A = this chain, B = another copy of it.
Amino acid sequence: MNIKEASEKTGVSSAAIRYYEKESLIPAIDRTEVGNRDIDDRIIRRIRFVTQMRAAGMSIENLRRYIELFDAQEDNTKEQKALLKEQLEVMEEKRDDLQAAIDHLNYKLNHFYDHMEATEEELRQLEKQHAEKLNSAESDDIK
């Protein structure tokens, strides 16, 4: 499949795919006789992996280092796991921040009046609720 088809299939622009290849976020892509990229499903999956991690807020730089480690043949399982865990923590924190902001907006939506003049009381309450949620690890308002 050529780069345009790959672009349509993944929703990633042709230029971005070339950029990802250059930055080694995806493996070197095979070329046809005339030098055009010939993209297979393995590449498509890796483009999607990049997209997912990028959407989750991972930088190109970290993603590159991460992928380098995984692609290396040596047995660096330990470092790989450490890197994975590190990234997981970053993402979990991000998710929690996001959830706190969602709670904040939901609160505004439910107690709709002058949201901009929120009193310290309101804020303390929100923080309390958030702390409780993190402790109980039970009650969840997803969806």
Give chain A's interface residues, CB within 8 Å of chain B.
Answer: 42, 45-46, 49, 52-53, 55-57, 67, 70-71, 77, 80-81, 84-85, 87-88, 91-92, 94-102, 104-106, 108-109, 112, 115-118, 123, 133-134, 137-138, 140, 142-143
Q: Taking chain A's interface residues, is the majority helix, strand, or loop, or is none over half, making it mixed?
A: helix
Q: Indicate how many identical chains form the complex.
A: 2
Within the complex, the shortest CB–CB distance from A142 to chain B, in Å, comes to 6
The answer to whether A91 and B101 touch across the interface, beta carbons within 8 angstroms, is yes
Residues from chain B with Cβ under 8 Å of A95 in the complex: 95, 98-99, 102
Q: Which residue of B lies closest to A99 (CB)?
A: B95
The answer to whether A105 and B88 touch across the interface, beta carbons within 8 angstroms, is yes
- Pick the contact of A56 from B53, B88, B101, B115 — CB < 8 Å? B101
The answer to whether B70 and A91 touch across the interface, beta carbons within 8 angstroms, is no
- Pick the contact of A109 from B52, B84, B112, B138 — CB < 8 Å? B84
